[in-house]
Amino acid sequence: MEQHSLKTNTIFNIIKTLTSILFPLITFPYISRVLLPDNVGKINFGSSIVAYFSLMASLGISTHAIRECSAVREDKEKLSSVASQIFSINLVTTIIAYFTLAIALVLFPKLKDYRLLIIIQSLSIVATTFGADWLNTAMEDFKYITIRTVLCQLFSLILMLSFVHKPEDYMKYAVICLISSAGSNIFNIFYRRRYCTIRLIWRIRTEIEWKRHLRPIFLLFVMILAQSLFNNVDVTMLGIIKGDKEVGFYSTAHKVANIIAQVIVSSAWVVMPRISHYFTDNDYERINGLLSKIFGFFALIGLPCIIGTVCVSKELIQIIAGSEYAPSSIALRILMIGYIFDLFGNSFLGNIVCLPLKQEKKYMYIWLTTSVLNIILNFFLIPMYGAAAAAFTTALSYCISLILLIVTNDRRIRINKLYKALLSPIYGCIMIVVVCCLLNFIPNVAIKFALKILISVLVYIAVQFIMKNQLFIEIVGDFKSVKRRFHL
């Protein structure tokens, strides 16, 4: 029963991930063309400001809540008590966050023109607090989470196509995004009653176990703060130093890069429970065997996706966003090169090695180091080079993060046949570059893009067969067995 439940949850999680990828692929080309760079920049600048106060409201509460509620989920009375305590703490932090946001909107003149937009976008903070989605995750109700997410995305898509038709509609777009988010949380308020009763604790000094909750919440908050600072500081500094248009260019490149990165790493997360179990048993033979396969998978799938995106960056930006966003292609190339370091650094050594090893403190210091470096470099380079500078500082920070993770890595972790795992994907990527360069003579953008993708995929597959990449051959074999099983 437990294994079946894990498989079922994995399927729902994959569906949720795919819809989260497909939704921006559908909406972003429309929004970028309708709102144009300036208004896309306004939306993203407002979101980057709200993200800081959203982080202040959430602290590390979500991760802590999932862990604490999971431990007592079989006892409804205890679950109600723990959930109510955490909800009450979250409400206090939300009030503090809104008070701080109000001060910021008054004190900083730069935010004057964005006040209404930021206020609208900030309502997602209170919706998130009252929604308490961490309870659904703690109860492993991935079916509900997936269905609710898909329905809310479809509803917001209908609203967007119905009401957003010209650049001046950027405020309507912000409201639609809020309705989608708030809708999910309204569902939660009614749905969670099947698990427990969450109430507001008024006597917060005596009825909340502060010692139990504060320390882990604070430690997780510092780590998430460093990550959030790293992810949002580029957009914020671009908006302040260079203006909305550069934010529009950079955020376009960043969104495209993030979608591709999400495609690469999302499938590897299904191994996390097993990795954690192996670490608990100190079974390093199995740990290293499984990590070697994950590393090989990242190299096999990740490297061609990254190099291929670099080679088709001009065409990709023009097709997705339009010719007005042409400068985004430079930032996209730089970001994708940086994702090579991020793939094997934060995604592999960080999330798949450090976190199961319970090395959050070390990982937190690495994020803090790279975040500070990113801010310093942005301060000097963004005034001269704009969006390209923001992309470069991000890529450089990923590189330094990888170096720090390698230097501080647990020596018991070893990747078997590292050279062999990288060799055939690298040769395949070289052939992708050759193919794309040879096809640059084609004048039609759509045809050139399609041919580059199609021929590059075929050539890359051929290289893996010729060089007898063992992991690739195993994947092909698994696909054939599934095909025979379903008589396809």
pLDDT in tens, 290-328: 788 888 888 888 899 999 999 999 998 888 877 888 888
* Number of domains present in the structure of the chain: 1
Is residue 177 domain-resident?
Answer: yes
User: Residue 478: pLDDT band by 50, 70, 90 thresholds?
Assistant: low
270 closest CA partner among 11, 78, 89, 29: 11
Report d(CA 461, CA 465) in Å as an integer: 6
Range of the domain at 113: 1-196
Angle, CA 362 vertex, CA 359 and CA 366 arms, to 5°: 135
**Inside any domain, residue 337:** no
Query: Would residue 187 count as lying in a domain?
Result: yes
Judged against a pLDDT cut of 50, whether residue 4 lies above it is answered with: no
Say which residue the tokens 């723990």 belong to: 82
100 is a domain residue: yes
Task: Identify whether 152 is part of a domain.
Answer: yes
The pLDDT mean for the chain works out to 83
Amino acid of residue 38: D
pLDDT value of position 3: 40
Distance, in Å, from the CA atom of 388 to the CA atom of 393, rounded to the nearest integer, reads 9
CA distance 295 to 416: 9
Q: Is residue 13 part of a domain?
A: yes
Distance CA 67, CA 387 (A): 39
Neighbours of 475 (CB within 10 A): 15
| Residue whose entry in the numeric block shows the structure tokens 């999330």 | 351
pLDDT tens for 171-226 read 999 999 888 778 888 888 888 888 888 888 887 777 888 777 787 777 777 877 77
User: Does residue 116 belong to any structural domain of this protein?
Assistant: yes
What pLDDT was estimated at residue 1?
A: 35
Q: Do the domain assignments include residue 169?
A: yes
